[in-house]
Amino acid sequence: MTDIFLEGGRALIGVEFVETSLLVSGTDIAQVDASRSRARLAIDARDLLVLPGIVDLHGDAFERQMMPRAGVDFPIDVALADSDRQAIGNGITTVFHATTCSWEPGLRSADNARGLMEAIERQRPQFAADTRFHLRHETYHLDAEAEIAQWLAEGRVDLFAFNDHMDGTVADMAKPRKRNRMVERTGLSSEEFDRLVERVVSRADEVPTSVSRLAASARAAGVRMLSHDDATPAMRREYRERGADIAEFPINEETARAAAEAGDAIVYGAPNVVRGGSHTGWTRASDMIAKGLCSVLASDYYYPAQLLAAFRLAADGVVPLARAWDLVSAGPARATGLADRGILAEGRRADILLVDDSARLRPRLIAVISGGKLVHLTDATRLLTAVAAPREAVAAA
């Protein structure tokens, strides 16, 4: 693997930005405040920010590559390859594909979840981003319990989330637009969908014990767990007691505060920050961040959002950029147990971004290094010749 020298740049070292040079050797950062030495590849990072790669613990935008329109499917391998390019092109060097395993047929079915898991396993060596499998289990999907427990035991699941969207599904059935979207996603007729929901709801009393058994399986396998859309402090406490110490999108401040007081990781969506609020009308993420009630921002459904959100938080004076960047890099790395990334330090994994921050609110990604490899470059004039030369000289060549 080719050593890479990053000359100059305002690097985020700890909680401060420092003018320094970095040397990458193999998959790791070999030296901070380095000299060129024998590195065959050198990049001029002067006037750029040098940041740790983004860690996305919940991103499901890949679904749009799989089904860009209702009823229009594309092969999973094609969709994942395109999603990898999109993730890297937005600075995401570690991506957890948040895959829903639901009682619904179609895009979010158990069959589709299985196919995604197997495709990720096959294609992982080809991806530029470190790609992992985040399984989002719809708790009413009782028939999937045995298979999911097997996946957990086999080490095939990297994150495991408990989702319960049944109340919302039942409520949305009375709303024609939302109902039609759900039905189209499943490929069922309207009558078939009604009958399916009725059968699933009829087994509600079996759900709590199924959740407990699966949580025990995840604990035994050492898989980190999340609970999704916690509605009350009591709900958050119940999941924490089962071992789920990541609160994903708590829907009100009371629940988020209970999670923070217990030391849980708290996840909100970066699109919420970029858009100025939740598309559901629930908690405003920037308010939670200002109050210290958010430790992770995820891409959720839009890969560009994490990069944009960090810079918006800083521009709006919510938190300094170093703190905002922690929410998209070191914070999710801590929450997922990835101690080798999220900061720029010697011996850590070389996931590094070079960012032009000259346009307010519109950071421009210049280069991405993932696992020690240069995988994205938008400005070839930044490449230095064998003997370090000024940018003007390189551009003139």
Find the CATH number of the domain harbouring 42: 2.30.40.10
| pLDDT score for 175 | 84
389 pLDDT band, cuts 50/70/90, is: very low
The whole model's pTM is what?
Answer: 0.92
| pLDDT score for 235 | 96
**Domain finish residue from 290, 309, 335:** 335
Residue 295 has pLDDT above 70, yes or no: yes
Q: What percent of the chain has pLDDT over 90?
A: 80
Average pLDDT over residues 72-76: 89
Average pLDDT over residues 254-278: 95
What is the number of structural domains in the chain?
Answer: 2
Average of per-residue pLDDT values in the chain: 93
Q: Are 81 and 95 in contact, with CB atoms under 8 Å apart?
A: no
| pLDDT score for 100 | 94
Domain that holds residue 207: 54-335
Parallel, antiparallel or unpaired: strands 54-59 and 92-101: parallel
DSSP letter at 124 equals G
Average pLDDT over residues 148-168: 94
Residue given tokens 């229009």 in the structure block? 72
The reply to whether 68 and 195 lie within a common domain is yes
Average pLDDT over residues 140-151: 97
387 pLDDT band, cuts 50/70/90, is: very low
Among candidate residues 162, 170, 167, 105, the one with its CA nearest the CA of residue 134:
162
The Cα-based distances of 387 to 5, 38, 290, 381 in angstroms read: 12, 10, 46, 14
The reply to whether 368 and 232 lie within a common domain is no
The reply to whether 297 and 381 lie within a common domain is no
Average pLDDT over residues 56-85: 91
Listed as own residue / partner, the contacts of 215-221 with beta carbons closer than 8 Å and 24 or more positions apart are 215/162, 215/242, 215/243, 215/244, 216/242, 217/148, 217/149, 217/152, 217/153, 218/152, 218/157, 218/160, 218/243, 219/243, 220/152, 220/153, 221/152, 221/153, 221/155, 221/157
Average pLDDT over residues 99-112: 90
CATH of the domain at 228: 3.20.20.140
Query: Bridge-partner residues for 41, per DSSP?
Result: 4
**Domain finish residue from 335, 354, 383:** 335
- Under DSSP, is residue 364 helix (H, G, I), strand (E, B) or coil? strand
Average pLDDT over residues 98-125: 93
| pLDDT score for 395 | 47
| pLDDT score for 391 | 52
**Domain finish residue from 335, 362, 381:** 335
Parallel, antiparallel or unpaired: strands 92-101 and 383-384: unpaired
Average pLDDT over residues 279-297: 91
The reply to whether 34 and 79 lie within a common domain is no
The reply to whether 298 and 379 lie within a common domain is no
Residue 379 has pLDDT above 50, yes or no: yes
The reply to whether 263 and 376 lie within a common domain is no
The reply to whether 211 and 289 lie within a common domain is yes
Helix ranges (H only) for 249-390 are 253-261, 270-275, 285-290, 305-315, 321-328, 330-335
The reply to whether 152 and 251 lie within a common domain is yes
The reply to whether 250 and 380 lie within a common domain is no
The reply to whether 69 and 149 lie within a common domain is yes
Residue type present at position 84: D
Q: Are 119 and 76 in contact, with CB atoms under 8 Å apart?
A: yes
Residue given tokens 């708790």 in the structure block? 139
| pLDDT score for 181 | 80
The Cα-based distances of 58 to 10, 93, 99, 159 in angstroms read: 28, 13, 9, 9
Residue 273 has pLDDT above 90, yes or no: yes
Q: Are 306 and 363 in contact, with CB atoms under 8 Å apart?
A: no
- Under DSSP, is residue 111 helix (H, G, I), strand (E, B) or coil? helix
| pLDDT score for 84 | 97
Average pLDDT over residues 347-373: 97
The reply to whether 158 and 187 lie within a common domain is yes
Average pLDDT over residues 336-355: 98
| pLDDT score for 106 | 82
The reply to whether 157 and 182 lie within a common domain is yes
Close Cβ partners of 53 (under 8 Å, ≥ 6 residues apart): 91, 92, 93, 94, 329, 341, 351, 352, 353, 368, 369, 370
